[in-house]
């Protein structure tokens, strides 16, 4: 399988980025839901948020690389059987997924840096607090982060259902291309 995307299918790097990001997003969502329910005496009370932040910042870096890769190696054109509304819906849906991902990560960053303290990433380095001290920063960003995360996960589920619809009902190559197979 080729590295770069072709006119008929995705390359292996795009496929790994796509499925890897999906797994990380759902994993972060599950970790986030679990960690907010931890009580004061839990041994994970500090470690779970630190892990969540480290993975989230790593995902931010990967998403920046993903956007760059999308510019270097554009995705294949939509299958011929996709009408103008389907093509528009796909473009808007992908844009919304990308924007949602960045927005939820920025909100998470704003929660973590509200007190002016940087965020350690797996104990290797620290991302500085560039924005802090906004009125109710942690609370507002926390609410935004929560609702964006729910919206993102629900919309990613709809995205997955749309891919299954294209595969099983429309019988087109939408899903198989993202699995590395020819159209």
d(CA 89, CA 74): 18
The 10s digit of each residue's pLDDT in 1-47 is: 899 999 888 999 999 999 999 999 999 999 999 999 999 999 999 99
Give the pLDDT mean for 70-77.
95
pLDDT classification of 181: cutoffs 50, 70, 90: confident
**pLDDT tens digits, residue range 74-94?**
999 999 999 999 999 999 999
pLDDT at site 183: 61
Confidence of residue 105 (pLDDT cuts 50, 70, 90): very high
182 pLDDT band, cuts 50/70/90, is confident
Helix (H, G, I), strand (E, B) or coil at 157: helix
Q: Which residue has the tokens 């931890």?
A: 38
Structural domains of the chain, ranges and CATH numbers in brackets: 12-178 (1.20.950)
Find the mean pLDDT for residues 90-103.
98
Task: Please enumerate in sequence order all residues whose Cβ is within 8 A of that of 30, keeping only pairs 6 or more positions apart, or say none.
Answer: none
With contact defined as beta carbons under 8 Å apart, do 18 and 163 qualify?
A: no
Cβ-contact 115, 132 below 8 angstroms: yes
Given a cut of 90, whether residue 180 has pLDDT beyond it is no
């Amino acid at each position: 399988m080729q590295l770069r995307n072709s006119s008929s299918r995705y390359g292996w790097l795009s496929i790994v980025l796509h499925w890897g990001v999906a797994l990380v997003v759902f994993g972060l969502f599950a970790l986030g839901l679990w960690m907010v329910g931890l009580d004061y005496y839990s041994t994970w009370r500090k470690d779970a948020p630190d892990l969540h932040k480290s993975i989230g910042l790593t995902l931010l870096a990967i998403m920046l690389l993903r956007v760059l890769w999308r510019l270097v190696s554009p995705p294949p054109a939509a299958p011929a059987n996709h009408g103008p509304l389907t093509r528009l819906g796909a473009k808007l849906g992908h844009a919304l997924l990308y924007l949602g991902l960045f927005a939820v990560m920025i909100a998470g960053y704003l929660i973590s840096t509200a007190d002016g303290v940087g965020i350690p990433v797996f104990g290797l380095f620290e991302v500085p607090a560039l924005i802090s001290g906004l009125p109710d920063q942690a609370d507002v960003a926390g609410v935004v982060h929560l609702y964006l995360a729910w919206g993102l996960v629900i919309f990613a589920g709809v995205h997955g259902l749309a891919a299954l619809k294209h595969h099983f009902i429309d019988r087109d190559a939408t899903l198989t291309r993202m699995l590395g197979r020819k159209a």
